Amino acid sequence: MSRRHAPPRAERKPDRRDLGWYVDKAVEVAVFVGGVSAIVFVVGIFVFITREGLGFVTGPFDFRQFFLSPRWRPTSEWNPTYGILALFAGTASVTGLAMLVAVPFSICAAVFIGELTAGRTREVLKVLVEFLAAIPSVVWGFIGLSIINPLIINVFDVAVGLNVLNSGVILGLMAAPIMTSIAEDAFRAVPETYREAAEAMGATRWQVTYKVVIPAAKNGLLAAVLLGIGRAFGETMAVLMASGHSINLPTSVFDSVRALTATIAAELGETAVGSDHYRALFTIGIVLFLITFAINLTADLVIRGTRRKE
């Protein structure tokens, strides 16, 4: 800007403290406090969990036992052991099954919404999907307990219906809406010119989808799957209710299992602050935190990579 256009000195007195000035300052301070506190909280939470939890660094736990032993017996009178392998296996099996359910489900749904419908139908369906994503997890747990549980018992003729199958299906259904939404965004980001070009060469709607749109959107789809995994991994209440909550290295989908998250939720209230058990639970918290952080970071990088290429 040229100097000639600067207003004359008299008008530029910066400290006219009228109402506008105060409003300005107040908003500025509020935004600053909000922004900084968000960071402070995250760091604070991390520091707190770390301090409470890093048992095998500062305290009595054995690193190898903690990760490699399937025995989680924190309340044993004479020999408490803190091995999270079985809990980890529980979480992993449930998450894995959830993805087997959610990935095909959500990608098909996204293809349908994004590629095969248009206009009003599409908008209605999108709202519906977002509505599904907002169902509280305790409601899903309730569905697992009262609908899928008897269904599994009847259909497969097993004694208990609260198991990997039940919680996997529940988590899959829970993760599917958000995955659908992200996958649909990925499809939407594929330029219309690609579809037009392919159709002009004689491709049908369906051929356009699987030969052009899905390959072009594959990074976005990968991100959708990763975020779905993160969602299933961190879910607590629904798994607690639908998994059976018994410690097991599962060998079939009809085994009951216990998840890392559910363990924390169920046990933390009954432990003495500062006890070994208490710290073991916090260590589990750190493990969860790091894994979900890694998953989300990967998803983020994948999405960013896609953007850069465009």
Partner 1 sequence: MTPPSEATEQTPPAAAIRTRKLNFWYGSFQALFEVDLEITAGIITSLIGPSGCGKSTLLRSVNRINERSGDVRTTGTIEVLGHDIHGERVELARLRQKVGMVFQRPNPLPISIRDNVMFGYRLQNPANSRNKSEQEEILEGSLRKVLLWDGVKDCLGRKATSLSLEEQQKLCIARLLPVKPAILLMDEPCSALDPQGTEAVEELIWELRGDFNILLVTHNMAQARRASEECVFMLMGRVIEHAPTVEMFVTPRNPQTSDYIEGRYG
What does the binding site for partner 1 look like in residue numbers (CB under 8 A)? 118-119, 193-194, 196-204, 207, 211-212, 215-216
Choice between 12 and 120, CB closer to partner 1: 120
Choice between 201 and 273, CB closer to partner 1: 201
Shortest distance, CB of residue 199 to partner 1, whole angstroms? Answer: 6
Rounded CA separation 115/31 (Å): 40
Shortest distance, CB of residue 304 to partner 1, whole angstroms? Answer: 18
Choice between 55 and 114, CB closer to partner 1: 114
Nearest to residue 168, comparing CAs of 293, 67, 71, 255? 255
Q: Which pair of structure tokens corresponds to residue 170?
A: 């529940």
Shortest distance, CB of residue 1 to partner 1, whole angstroms? Answer: 35
Shortest distance, CB of residue 104 to partner 1, whole angstroms? Answer: 23
Choice between 196 and 270, CB closer to partner 1: 196
Choice between 14 and 202, CB closer to partner 1: 202
DSSP state of 213: I
Shortest distance, CB of residue 310 to partner 1, whole angstroms? Answer: 10
Q: Which pair of structure tokens corresponds to residue 228?
A: 């779905």
Letter for the amino acid at 157?
D
Shortest distance, CB of residue 14 to partner 1, whole angstroms? Answer: 50
Q: Is 136 helix (H, G, I), strand (E, B) or coil?
A: coil
Q: Is 112 helix (H, G, I), strand (E, B) or coil?
A: helix
Choice between 117 and 292, CB closer to partner 1: 117
Contact assessment for residue 90 and residue 258, using Cβ atoms and an 8 Å cutoff: yes
The rounded Cα 117 to chain-centroid distance in angstroms is 28
Q: Which pair of structure tokens corresponds to residue 78?
A: 């004479």
Contact assessment for residue 167 and residue 94, using Cβ atoms and an 8 Å cutoff: yes
Letter for the amino acid at 306?
T
**Residue that has been written with the tokens 């052991």 in this structure:** 81
Shortest distance, CB of residue 193 to partner 1, whole angstroms? Answer: 4
Choice between 121 and 146, CB closer to partner 1: 121
Rounded CA separation 66/87 (Å): 11
Q: Which pair of structure tokens corresponds to residue 297?
A: 């970071």
Shortest distance, CB of residue 303 to partner 1, whole angstroms? Answer: 17
Choice between 127 and 197, CB closer to partner 1: 197
Nearest to residue 98, comparing CAs of 28, 172, 184? 172
Letter for the amino acid at 170?
I
Nearest to residue 227, comparing CAs of 92, 102, 84? 102
